[in-house]
Amino acid sequence: MKKMLFILSIASLCLSEIMAATLPLISKPTPRIVGGEISNHNAWPWMAILVMHDQSPLEGQFCGGTLIHPQWVLTAAHCVEDIFSSRSIDVLFGMHNLRTDEGERVPVQKIVIHPNYQNLDSDIALLKLEKPVAYTPVNLINSDMSTEGKMATALGWGNTSALDTRPIFLDELRQVELPIVSNTECSNIHHWFEITPNMLCAGFIEGGKDSCQGDSGGPLVIKNESGDGWNQVGIVSFGDGCAQPGSYGVYTRVSIFNDFLTEQLCELEAPVMTLDVIENNTLVISWSQVANATGYNIYYAPYPFGIPIEHFDIGKETKLLIHLSSGNNFYVAIRAYNDSCQSGFSNSDFFIIP
């Protein structure tokens, strides 16, 4: 049987060994907590720190991240673009003091960098952990929630000095409150770099407070609408120095990438389908049951043209019998779903009703 081209592919990037992902460069503006305060213990259960596999937390930390799923961590693409192998880094949870806390250290199984990442645009990546962890994930902002003008909190173990020549890295997790500004206002300040819709800016025009080197990949969060929790709106990305007057910090705008995140976090297996035409022009379609799936969609398209592709929801059923008239010739494939999470397509096949 001929097959339909129902194929989804995901490319992950593995480059050379880790370089100075958090050092200031002129040609590549770097992520930049200055002017903040030490956070309370256990206040941010989803806060993560990226460390080199063979080093201590204090010596090996190079970026932050957030737990958004029991087995997935959100960070900045520039933090991991030069990682040769996912096995060279670990993620630590339950950390506050890098010198005294043990926390839970989990190796990274896979690195997924956004396919459109370039020149710090689409600066977002996911790390799949080797095993799930029991910490509470952070909620991500709803795409239609307004953030401009709201006060946000940035977190990290990064540099606390505004002087690039004298970095001061402390042991304890710090936080700083910053107002989110419009992209228009940010663009008017940052003439030297394009502020795209994939970015958001936060900070004080007079300077004094900011994220800094070592905070890269960490979160920018705002209070949720009920005021009893937090939503992540940004990822620490880059800036012109740290806490400098006349400059804002630039963050990856998380809401833009909801589809990317959903696609990666969705781990429903693709069903396996069988197709048969029996007596009286009856088509029998059956497929394997997929763990955690709440329903299935049947996709079909005219054979041999392949377009247009239509689909309908069959619910939780795993078998369908249809009586068809002569001349009905179609490709068929199945896809499982759970809310907005969808599996890949099953094997595809076609039938001909003579």
In this structure, what are the phi and psi dihedrals at residue 49, rounded to the nearest 5 degrees?
A: -130, 135
CB atoms within 10 A of CB 296: 24
Annotated active-site residue 216? The verdict is yes
Q: What is the dihedral of CA 43, 44, 48, 54, to 10 degrees?
A: 0
Among the listed residues 216, 237, 247, 348, the single catalytic one is: 216
Sequence-distant (6+) residues with CB within 8 A of 27 are none
Among the listed residues 123, 215, 240, 349, the single catalytic one is: 123
Among the listed residues 78, 96, 114, 190, the single catalytic one is: 78
In this structure, what are the phi and psi dihedrals at residue 105, rounded to the nearest 5 degrees?
A: -105, 125
Annotated active-site residue 41? The verdict is no
Give, in order, the Cα–Cα distances in Å from 257 to each of 156, 168, 197, 236, 238. 22, 33, 11, 15, 18
- Contact of 20 with 30, CB cutoff 8 Å: no
For 246-278, b/e burial (b = at least 16 CB within 10 A) is: ebbbbbbbbbbbeebbeebbbebebbebebeee
Annotated active-site residue 311? The verdict is no
Cα 134 to the chain's mean position, in Å?
19
Sequence-distant (6+) residues with CB within 8 A of 176 are 33, 34, 35, 36, 37, 153, 154, 209, 210, 211
For 90-119, b/e burial (b = at least 16 CB within 10 A) is: bbbbbbbbbeeeebeebebeebbbbeebee
Q: Which residues are catalytic?
A: 78, 123, 216
